[in-house]
Structure 1
Amino acid sequence: MLEPGHGSIRQEVHAHTRCWVCVLSCLLLAFFYVGSLYIWRSILPRDHPSVIKRRCASVLLVSALSPAVVKAWIHWADVRVDVSVWALMGVRLEGFIPAAVFPLLLTMVLYLGPLVHSAMDNPKGFTGELQSALDVQSWRLCVGDAVWLRNQVVAPLTEELVFRGAMLPMLVPCTGPTAAIFVAPLFFGVAHFHHIIEQQRLHKDCMSVILLVAGMQFLYTTVFGAFTAFIFMRTGHVVGPVLCHSFCNSQGLPDISSAFQHPERSALVFSYLMGVLLFLVLLFPLTDRFLYGAIPVCSIAPPPASVC
């Protein structure tokens, strides 16, 4: 006959084992994703079309295999799941349209300052910016550009599917949904350190500069990863993070310093501040779960699941 304390001890051991399986699974996915970029030996730079095509094929394959990793994790961690693996990873139809529109709108609000800045510098103003965004010929040129396809399509799709769609469901039972939002981006940020290898191989900068740039990129990608992880947890969809990722890649980091040197400095600074303020005001209303239905990943979250 077991003593009363044995049941709780067994549960603690099981939870500890589950967490180790979770961490190892996330590390395995990150290793495969980054490692797939370097299975092709080439002396060409990373922006060469042939290098881009090979690397895109590799990460697309890893992304396609990521549901199998999640499925294996469910088995080895002994997690009870009442939905499909794809739904758990945020690939589902319920609430799809609001999940695609509202997070992207929220991100565009955050970028209000840079968008106004770009429109002010356009000779045709806001009309010119809108015409450029809707120009069919411009889009055709983009689709034929390997760098654009990598930055705007393949990278957002594969990175969000692997680092958010696959990793967050594995982290949630161990860390809880709130902590998972801040833990998952660490794998995403560290994965970007592979750029150090590229920079060192091409001898573009000294090692101190390369490390400084890598550190700044780690900080930016980790913060951004926390935002898209929040979007994933609140909507239960991966489409929102993918579109937000693509939009942010197209915009880059806001050039705040040039805003202070602009002839219309007051208006620009005001638009930057309004963008941040509106973003904070709209963050929770636009990610309210009533817009998206039941969140599959929340079904495996331990109580209390505050973010869910």
Structure 2
Amino acid sequence: MINASEMVAKATVQPVLEVLPSQDPLPQIPIITSVTCCFVLSLLYVGSLYVWNTKHNRDHPATIKRRFTSVSVVMIFAPFFVWYFSSPELLSSEPFAKLLGFRWEGLWQAVVIPYGLTMLLFAGPIFVNCQNESIGSYFDLDYWRGCIHNIMWVRNHVMAPLSEEFVFRACMMPLILQSFSPMTAVFITPLFFGVAHLHHIAERLSLGVELSTALLIGLFQFIYTTLFGFYSAFLFARTGHIVAPFVVHAFCNHMGLPDLQDLWQQDMWRRVLAIVLYVAGLAGWILLLPIATSPSVYGNTLYWNV
């Protein structure tokens, strides 16, 4: 026989359970399936860069244009891996575009907030760059015309971030997230991203760089591309938008690695201020990262609802 206190407890708990969002994980697919798909996609992406028989280096306009074409073909076929190997239950319950990170809800937040957060991380380098370059150039229409007509700029700031984020985030993350928890997925997919950049070792060797130097540079590049991959995958999983990692990737390509030599060439007071901004920017980024990427801000209940 149910007493009055039990009846009150049930009446209180039931509405709460109905209000809370579902904590069920995504429909699962075998780990071997998701990992194999990501491995094949990585091979296709890197292979598309070398499918052409050319005597020119990677920065020659002819090489860049051909790689634009082959990478675009990979981008066309990559979503079929998500469509064919994803759980039928997931495909029937969610729009396919949403799985790839294309949706309207939270779009402007996904553009503005991650971009601003990353600018905070680069507060020190931005300050140093402002001492050496005129910030007014960014407001000059001729500057942007020159950028658009510079195929290397288009590669570094548009095509490379767009193609890499689409293949390595929009098409890999939905598969990995169907086999692993969000945090585990964030640490798995960047490994494919980092390994995919090791092909630059062969390019440096072809330019006459010593093997030991090429390997050392390649190892360093693997480390920082993998670290960026963690951040980019985290943004995709938290925001549910592909545009977030894309704009951040483009910005990071523009900034490049911090030039510490340039930092020490500044006047004493500028150097001290820059160091303070380096530290404060990193500390602020760490502190604000979980807040600024809260899934509720972006209406993301698909990939980070656990």
TM-score, normalising length: structure 2: 0.87
Checking the alignment, whether the CA contact within 8 Å between 2:238 and 2:300 is kept in structure 1 is: no
1:173 is paired with a residue whose SS is coil
AA aligned to 1:165 is: A
What's the CA shift for 1:103? 0.4
**Cross-structure match for 1:74:** 86
Distance across 1 between alignment mates of 2:89 and 2:229 = 25
Distance across 1 between alignment mates of 2:179 and 2:233 = 16
AA aligned to 1:176 is: S
Runs of 4+ that moved beyond 6 A: none
**Cross-structure match for 1:302:** none
Ranges in structure 1 where 5+ consecutive residues have no aligned partner: 1-13, 123-127, 300-304
Label 1:214 to 1:38 Cα distance change in 2 as closer, same or farther (>3 A).
Answer: same
**Cross-structure match for 1:275:** 281
What's the CA shift for 1:290? 1.9
**Cross-structure match for 2:180:** 175
Ranges in structure 2 where 5+ consecutive residues have no aligned partner: 1-26
- 1:66-87 CA-partner distances (Å, limit 9, x unpaired): 1111111115xx5533212221
- The within-5 A match list for 1:1-308 is 18-74=30-86, 80-81=90-91, 82-122=93-133, 128-129=134-135, 131-203=136-208, 205-263=209-267, 264-298=270-304, 305=306
Give the structure with higher Rg (CA): 2
What's the CA shift for 1:297? 3.0
AA aligned to 1:80 is: L
Distance across 2 between alignment mates of 1:294 and 1:192 = 30
**Cross-structure match for 2:5:** none
CA RMSD of aligned residues (A): 1.6
Distance across 2 between alignment mates of 1:232 and 1:43 = 38
1:284 is paired with a residue whose SS is helix
Count of matched residue positions in the alignment of Structure 1 and Structure 2: 277
- 1:222-270 CA-partner distances (Å, limit 9, x unpaired): 0000001111111000101000000000110012343244212211111
Alignment identity in percent?
A: 39
What's the CA shift for 1:284? 1.6
Checking the alignment, whether the CA contact within 8 Å between 2:238 and 2:303 is kept in structure 1 is: no
What's the CA shift for 1:135? 1.1
Label 1:80 to 1:290 Cα distance change in 2 as closer, same or farther (>3 A).
Answer: closer
- 1:261-290 CA-partner distances (Å, limit 9, x unpaired): 421221111111111111112212211122
**Cross-structure match for 2:12:** none
Distance across 1 between alignment mates of 2:190 and 2:234 = 10
Distance across 1 between alignment mates of 2:196 and 2:204 = 15
Label 1:239 to 1:40 Cα distance change in 2 as closer, same or farther (>3 A).
Answer: same
AA aligned to 1:236 is: G
